[in-house]
């Protein structure tokens, strides 16, 4: 059986003594909370009055988080039956479900009733959780709080995260350090309980992000094999029992959460074509792209890029130093260098997409991998690996400074704190380097038509214009407005669109018409909302004429110059 080195045992004991302290956890969370307010300004000061509304995904995900936060309380068994693409069921699985983000949003959503505040709260909380989890991972590996704090700053506020601010599921990065922390604890002292905790960490990541659940499973699998090789644990029964138990627990959780997607694949054959991944693959330019103030000078040099993956100079320089320091040090640090250096290389290779080869291999061999389509997101694992290696380098640097201080103090009878000053200096440099310019739009008021609709008896709603697939993103405005009433929508926007919805779009776009009435009668649609200001002048006159023609079947419940709400009180006789 592999025995931990004396240095590694000391670090594990130190982490065990300090890592579980409530006081430290509170201070770490408060510290990252304050940093998040600074780095994400001005979002925290206008939680419910500003938002990213400049693209369809941002609007859809505000709706998504609010839907989950609301429905898990009022009707949890129907949380997957989201109020889009009526009468289809399981529509939440047409995109990332964001169940975890919705759970985190519950207190703010039910306290304010504001979907923007709920979503923005989760966005800010994601950075705090990410920093805290990365801190405890590096704290466990190095035994140095200050090094852990700096490396956690590098990971939590990496420019990749800010470039995906509209994608709340891609901000749920905290699970990746937690998966690795659970693995290291199980590897250092393998027990069935620690193996089960590892499985909970990996499987639980699926609640927050399908992408990161796959990433977490791949990272832990890579780590299990690497540690088995470096510690010669191929025949260690306790080690493999813990790891196998972790795999069983993780797969049980993941399979349960994957059922809606499995149903979608079975019934509709939904999967991401491998060729599509080429559009979202990383290149060398991506690893130099960043929107941070300190990195802007790089952008004209690299030209066009597809993803923001540059983790910052502090992470790159210290990460490279950590790789060298770890390799030259004892058995424990060398294992960290091999593991996280290997993970960085593996993730970088996979991020290149089908042309790199590794992504294609994963696509054809890893279950559920064909639901992904953005290889460049593997760059997050590169950022995490460099952050961990940075912690190794900084911990070694601080140890040298402490030894020099001790020698000076013995000679002069003084006590210095240069190590803390050095750590603070690196931390300030990392925070300043990773500051990103952010802008948000004011939240629009809820149109009066939706306030009126919320007072009427429940029933499915169709909104017009009924945009075709070329303008599908415009439907997210309808979804966001539906948070005022939560009635089922015939309209919808998601990663997957039912073929039947596409087929009937031309007919429903002409409502009111006899053919459209027949389709809506089958689905028992009760209300129609017309955004008259969104039609061209000629189309608007045509709509108004048809509304007069079918006036006996429609009762106007609200109307102004831009929007009208009708109730369908009767359907024409079927032809």
DSSP string, 191-238: -HHHHHHHHHHHHHGGGT-HHHHHHHHHHHHHHHHHHHHHTT-TT-HH
Let me know if residue 442 belongs to a domain.
Answer: no
Task: Report how far residue 483's alpha carbon sits from residue 490's, in angstroms, rounded to the nearest whole number.
Answer: 15
Single out the residue in 367, 402, 433 at which a domain terminates.
Answer: 433
pLDDT, residue 8, reads 53
Does 170 share its domain with 296? yes
Let me know if residue 443 belongs to a domain.
Answer: no
Single out the residue in 408, 433, 458 at which a domain terminates.
Answer: 433
Single out the residue in 433, 459, 479 at which a domain terminates.
Answer: 433
Let me know if residue 363 belongs to a domain.
Answer: yes
Let me know if residue 459 belongs to a domain.
Answer: yes
Q: Is the dihedral of CA 416, 418, 424, 428 positive or negative?
A: positive
H/E run at residue 527: strand 527-531
Task: Report how far residue 258's alpha carbon sits from residue 203's, in angstroms, rounded to the nearest whole number.
Answer: 11
Helix 331-351 to helix 6-19 angle (10° resolution) is: 70
Tens place of pLDDT per residue across the chain (575 aa)? 344 555 555 555 555 544 458 899 999 999 999 999 999 989 999 999 999 998 899 999 999 999 999 999 999 999 999 999 999 999 999 989 999 999 999 999 999 999 999 999 999 999 999 999 999 999 999 999 999 999 999 999 999 999 999 999 999 999 999 999 999 999 999 999 999 999 999 999 999 998 999 999 999 999 999 999 999 999 999 999 999 999 999 999 988 888 777 777 777 666 778 888 888 999 999 999 999 999 999 999 998 888 999 999 999 999 999 999 999 887 788 999 999 999 999 999 999 999 888 999 999 898 878 778 899 999 999 999 999 999 999 999 999 998 887 766 555 544 557 888 999 999 999 999 999 999 999 999 999 999 999 999 999 999 999 987 767 788 999 999 999 999 999 999 998 889 899 999 999 999 999 999 999 999 999 999 999 999 999 999 999 999 999 999 999 999 998 999 999 999 998 77
In the chain, how many domains are there? 2
| Ramachandran angles phi, psi of 563, nearest 5° | -145, 145
Task: Report how far residue 197's alpha carbon sits from residue 377's, in angstroms, rounded to the nearest whole number.
Answer: 26
pLDDT, residue 407, reads 65
- The predicted model scores a pTM of 0.93
Residues ≥6 apart with Cβ < 8 Å to 447 = 481, 562, 563
H/E run at residue 19: helix 6-19
3-state SS record for 538-564: HHHHHHHHHHHHCHHHEEEEEECCCEE
Let me know if residue 237 belongs to a domain.
Answer: yes
307 neighbors 382 (Cβ within 8 angstroms) = no
Let me know if residue 441 belongs to a domain.
Answer: no
Does 428 share its domain with 508? no
Does 412 share its domain with 502? no
Does 333 share its domain with 199? yes
253 neighbors 199 (Cβ within 8 angstroms) = yes
pLDDT, residue 453, reads 97
Does 416 share its domain with 349? yes
Residues ≥6 apart with Cβ < 8 Å to 31 = 149
Does 282 share its domain with 406? yes
Let me know if residue 344 belongs to a domain.
Answer: yes
Does 171 share its domain with 215? yes
Let me know if residue 62 belongs to a domain.
Answer: yes
Does 379 share its domain with 491? no
Strand 554-559, strand 461-464: pairing: unpaired
- DSSP label at residue 160: H
pLDDT, residue 12, reads 53
Q: Is the dihedral of CA 541, 542, 548, 552 positive or negative?
A: negative
Distance of CA 66 to the CA centre of its chain: 15
pLDDT, residue 145, reads 96
Does 405 share its domain with 478? no
Range of the domain at 485: 448-568
Does 413 share its domain with 494? no
Does 49 share its domain with 146? yes
Does 486 share its domain with 413? no
């Amino acid at each position: 059986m592999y025995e931990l080195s004396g240095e590694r045992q000391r670090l594990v004991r130190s982490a065990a003594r300090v890592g579980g302290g409530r006081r430290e956890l509170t201070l770490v969370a408060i510290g990252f909370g304050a940093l998040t307010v600074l780095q994400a300004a001005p979002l925290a000061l206008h939680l419910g009055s500003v938002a990213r509304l400049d693209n369809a995904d941002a609007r859809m995900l505000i709706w998504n988080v609010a839907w989950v936060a609301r429905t898990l309380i009022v009707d949890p068994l129907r949380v997957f039956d989201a109020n889009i693409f009526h009468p289809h069921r399981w529509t939440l699985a047409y995109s990332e479900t964001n169940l975890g983000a919705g759970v985190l949003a519950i207190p703010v959503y039910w306290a304010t009733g504001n979907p923007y505040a709920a979503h923005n709260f989760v966005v800010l909380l994601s950075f705090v959780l990410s920093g805290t989890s990365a801190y405890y991972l590096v704290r466990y590996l190095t035994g140095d709080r200050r090094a852990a704090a700096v490396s956690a700053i590098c990971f939590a506020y990496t420019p990749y995260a800010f470039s995906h601010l509209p994608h709340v599921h891609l901000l749920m990065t905290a699970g990746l350090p937690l998966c690795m922390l659970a693995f290291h604890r199980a590897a250092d002292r393998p027990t069935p309980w620690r193996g089960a905790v590892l499985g909970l960490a990996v499987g639980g990541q699926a609640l927050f992000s399908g992408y990161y659940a796959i990433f977490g499973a791949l990272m832990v699998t890579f780590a299990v094999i690497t540690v088995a090789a470096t510690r010669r644990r191929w025949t260690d029964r306790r080690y493999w029992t813990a790891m196998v138990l972790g795999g069983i627990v993780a797969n049980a959780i993941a399979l349960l959460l994957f059922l809606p997607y499995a149903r979608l694949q079975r019934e509709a054959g939904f999967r991401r074509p491998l060729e599509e991944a080429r559009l979202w693959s990383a290149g060398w330019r991506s690893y130099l792209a960043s929107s941070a103030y300190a990195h802007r000078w790089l952008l004209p040099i690299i030209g066009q890029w597809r993803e923001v993956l540059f983790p910052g100079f502090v992470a790159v320089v210290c990460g490279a130093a950590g790789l060298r320091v770890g390799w030259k040090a004892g058995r424990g640090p060398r294992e960290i260098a091999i593991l996280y250096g290997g993970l960085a290389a593996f993730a970088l290779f996979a991020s290149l997409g089908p042309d790199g080869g590794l992504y294609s291999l994963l696509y054809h061999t890893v279950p559920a991998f064909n639901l992904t389509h953005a290889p460049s997101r593997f760059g997050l694992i590169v950022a995490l690996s460099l952050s961990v290696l940075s912690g190794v380098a900084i911990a070694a640097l601080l140890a040298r400074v402490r030894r020099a201080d001790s020698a000076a103090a013995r000679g002069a009878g003084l006590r210095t704190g240069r190590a803390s000053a050095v750590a603070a200096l690196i931390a300030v440099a990392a925070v300043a380097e990773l500051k990103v310019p952010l802008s948000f739009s004011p939240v629009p008021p809820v149109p009066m038509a939706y306030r009126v609709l919320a007072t009427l008896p429940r029933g499915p709603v169709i909104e017009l214009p009924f945009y075709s697939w070329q303008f599908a993103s415009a439907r997210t405005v309808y979804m966001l407005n539906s948070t005022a009433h939560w009635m089922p929508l015939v309209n919808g926007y998601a990663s997957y669109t039912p073929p039947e919805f596409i087929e009937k779009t031309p007919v429903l776009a002409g409502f009111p018409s006899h053919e459209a009435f027949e389709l809506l009668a089958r689905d028992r649609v009760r209300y129609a909302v017309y955004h008259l200001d969104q039609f061209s002048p000629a189309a608007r006159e045509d709509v108004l004429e048809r509304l007069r023609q079918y006036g006996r079947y429609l009762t106007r419940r609200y109307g102004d110059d831009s929007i009208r709400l009708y109730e369908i009180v009767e359907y024409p006789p079927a032809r």
